[in-house]
Structure 1
Amino acid sequence: MLARRHLLAATAVLAAPAVARAQGWPERPIRLVVPFAAGGGTDVLARILANGLSEKLGRQVLVENRTGAGGNLAMENVIRAPADGYSLLMGTNGAIAVNRHLYRGMGFDPLRDLMPITLAFRIEHLLVVSDAVPARSVAELVALAKAQPGVLTFGSGGAGSMIHLAGELFKFRTGIDIVHVPYRGGGPAMNDLVAGNISMMFDSLPSAEPQVKGGRIRALALCGTQRHALMPDLPTMTEAGVPNYAAASTGGLFAPLGTPAPVVARLGAAVRELVENEAFRTQLGRSGGDAVATSPEELGSLMAQESAVWEVVVREANISTN
């Protein structure tokens, strides 16, 4: 009993400085590591979030772009950083929940080695088809694909990207045979869709919406679980007859494992305050993101659920980046 009391006392002594530092946090600028290049969709949304957090926290939140290996370099950088609240990750579901199934020998596990803080935004996706495709609904598209297996194609921004996985999930849920055509980015894929060189895409709503409203391509369904204000008349996949289908891109804040609880709580509270602010929601929405906040437990559970879904899709589609 005496030894146990000594151990508890020693633990409390060691923890005390960390708690004290957390209570004074932040005392210097914070870096927010973004896994993708400057100017991309995730980067733009991350910078809006960083500006908002800078105001809420009273210290500058600086975006640091670390590209490479589909987000793995950025994740590893934050995982190896001191757990003091000054290194954060803008973690997408593609990096956190999918990469662990795409890359062998990563040397770390995002679900195990990163501390979830809160979701910050969601980017919805939708199924769009070329005007050359006669289908006017998801049911008609599925029937067409079953009548012509291996003929219809879908483009993406590259193997393992979320718009690729959304197409593979569609194949998996409907039992159809459509051919994946990878591009070096979503922009070239969309150009070929408009030109009629590919049949369909499962693109992000911000990217596809101008082309849909311009009449250059047709939208058949949203890939999320509920309708969206930008296209309120467009049905979800479930409403269109494809059950258990959900594919969206999300971005959330993650920190090194062991980051003090007071820091995590303050960051979560700051994001919730931003999400409740109409001006912030509007600014984020104009750049393609829907503002949303969660608890750390909810974010961790969401990533675990997505990981389980995409593990099956990656395995069934035999997708590998190695």
Structure 2
Amino acid sequence: MPARSAISSSRRQWIQAAAVLAGGLLAQVSLPAQAQGEAPWPSRPVRVIVPFPPSGATDLVARVIAQRVSQELGQQLIIDNRPGAGGTIGAGEASKAAPDGYTLLFTTSSTHAISPHLMPKLSYKVDKDFTPIAHTADAASMLLVTPSLPVRTVQELIAYAKANPGQLNYASSGNGTIVHLNTAAFAAQAGIRLTHVPYKGTAQSITDLAAGQVHLLFDSIPTGMPHVASGRLRALAVTGEQRSALAPNLPTLAESGLPGYSSVTWFGVYGPAGMKPELVERINQAFNQAVQNPDVIANLAKQGVEPAKAQTPKEFAAMVKADSARWAKVIKDNHITLE
């Protein structure tokens, strides 16, 4: 009996020791996840910084897409407008956020492909301070001319400009804006000289264009179409790679004798630098799915915006890099500054 008792006691000790050891190993396996305190993303609302004013084009596009992403994720995306300095203030703020997926930046080519070449003292570096996530949408522009100009095609406009060098002027919404750059790129490729007349916005420029005080303008399709329909303005072409669904009868500039010409304002999502690849992939998928929703497509079309083809974060980064290089050349070759 004593022998059996000793054996049982020893066995109990062994079992207890094994249990302690197993518990320790289990704790070691579980500790990293517990220490990080991570719940599946998103476990709370996500802040989306829009670096432009409320009710502006970027804000409206962001809200349409964010609403659908919220439904996809079952968690609210909260738009936080942080306008100023051409969008660079809000972009700078987003770059300093924690890389946990709870602060995102919804922005355009302005902050990541154009401003870096016009504002050398930016508070951020595009290639170092951000994580590219998703390319969501694109907005082409249309080339408008005053009806008093005796041209009805792009080639006729180019021929007229060459026959009257320096006599044509063009409006823009300000120095260094996409409107300014689109026209500078057009004039350079066409080999014509145009005089720049910057405005503070498009409203007055359209009035002056209709009156013949300025001769041409690259403007958004939704803004220009009503004036084209009424006969106040004449549309010659669109700037995208493909014809716009909003103006299917208008050729592209590439179709109109300027091969390779393509310019759109792209909309995209970034996070701060240092985000985990699996988190980036999750957010990328959510936005890619959202912009293919029929209701989203219809609402974007009202803003003259078309959903982008699904891209990986790497493809988005490569697209932005190429776009940035293109605008850098236009800015340098035409000596464009913000003054």
TM-score above 0.5, yes or no: yes
Residue of structure 2 equivalent to 1:313: 330
CA distance in 1, matches of 2:33, 2:199: 52
CA displacement 1:43-93 (0-9 Å, x = unmatched) = 111111111111111111111111111111111101111111111111201
> For each residue in 1:140-169, what CA deviation from the matched residue of structure 2 results, as whole angstroms up to 9, or x when unmatched?
111111122221111111111111110010
- Tell me how far apart the structure 2 counterparts of residues 231 and 150 of structure 1 sit (CA, whole Å): 30
Matching residue of 1:3:
none
- Partners of 1:230 and 1:261 in 2: CA distance: 37
Tell me the residue number matched to 1:258: 274
- 1: CA distance, partners of 2:206 / 2:170: 10
Partner of 1:207: 223
Residue number in structure 2 paired with 1:68: 84
1:257 & 1:18 partners in 2: Cα distance?
22
2:114 aligned residue: 98
**TM-aligned CA distance change 1:198 to 1:258, over 3 Å:** same
2:298 to 278, 282, 286: 282
Once residues 178 and 30 of structure 2 are traced to their aligned partners in structure 1, the CA distance between those partners, rounded to angstroms, is: 46
Whole-angstrom distance in 1 between the partners of 2:124 and 2:89: 11
The residue that corresponds to 1:298 in the other structure is 315
1:43 matched to 2:59: yes
Is the contact made by 1:111 and 1:303 (CA closer than 8 Å) also made in structure 2? no
Matched, 1:244 2:252: no
Q: Deviations over 1:108-129 (max 9, x none)?
A: 2223321111111111111110
Give TM-score, length-normalised by structure 1: 0.91
Q: 1:60 to 1:237 in 2, by over 3 A?
A: same
User: Matches of residues 108-119 of structure 1 in structure 2 within 5 Å?
Assistant: 108-119=124-135
Render the CA deviation track for 1:6-46: whole Å, top value 9, x for unaligned.
xxxxxx9998679862x611122111111111111111111
What is the CA–CA distance in structure 1 between the aligned matches of 2:228 and 2:240, rounded to whole Å? 17
Pair 1:126 & 2:142 matched: yes
Say whether the 8 Å CA contact 1:268–1:295 is kept in structure 2: yes
Aligned match of 1:170: 186
Q: Distance in 1 between matches of 2:149 and 2:32?
A: 63
CA RMSD of aligned residues (A): 2.0
Structure 1 Cα separation of the partners of residues 169 and 125 of structure 2: 33
Distance 2:35 2:113 in 1: 30
Paired residue for 1:57? 73
Greater C-alpha radius of gyration: 2
Aligned residue for 2:99, secondary structure, equals coil
Report the counterpart of residue 233 of structure 2 in structure 1.
217
C-alpha distance in 2 between matches for 1:18 and 1:319 = 52
Runs of at least 4 residues off by over 6 Å: 12-15, 17-20
Partner of 1:226: 242
Match of 2:152 among 132, 136, 139: 136
CA contact (8 A) 1:122 1:251 kept: yes
Paired position in structure 1 for 2:16: none
SS of the residue corresponding to residue 154 of structure 1 reads: strand
Name the CA distance, whole Å, in 2 between partners of 1:15 and 1:232.
56
- Shift of the 71–14 alpha-carbon distance from structure 1 to 2, 3 Å rule, reads farther
Aligned pairs, number: 310
Please report the TM-score for the alignment, with normalisation by the length of structure 2: 0.87
In structure 2, the CA distance between the partners of 1:260 and 1:195, relative to structure 1 (3 Å rule), is same
Q: Deviations over 1:206-229 (max 9, x none)?
A: 211221122211111111111122
Q: Work out the percentage of aligned pairs sharing the same amino acid.
A: 37
Structure 2, gaps ≥5 residues long: 1-28
Unaligned segments of structure 1, at least 5 residues:
1-11
- The one-letter code of the counterpart of 1:314 is I
Structure 1 stretch displaced more, 119-128 or 263-272: 263-272
Q: Which residue type is aligned with residue 319 of structure 1? A: I
Question: Could you tell me which residue of structure 1 aligns to residue 40 of structure 2?
Answer: 24
Cα distance 1:261–1:135, how it changes in 2: closer, same or farther (>3 A)? same
Contact 1:152–1:198 (CA under 8 A) maintained in structure 2 = yes
Assess if the C-alpha contact under 8 Å between 1:114 and 1:255 holds in 2.
yes
Equivalent of 2:99, from 78, 83, 107?
A: 83
Call closer, same or farther: CA 1:136–1:13 in 2, change over 3 Å: farther
8 Å contact 2:246–2:301 — kept in the other structure?
no
What is residue 268 of structure 1 aligned with on the other side? 284
Distance of 1:204 and 1:17 partners within structure 2: 51
SS of the aligned residue for 2:127 comes to helix
Deviation per CA, 1:213-267: give whole Å up to 9, x if none.
2221111111111112222221111110012211111101111011222321121
Distance 1:31 1:111, change over 3 A: same
Alignment-derived partner of residue 12 in structure 2: none
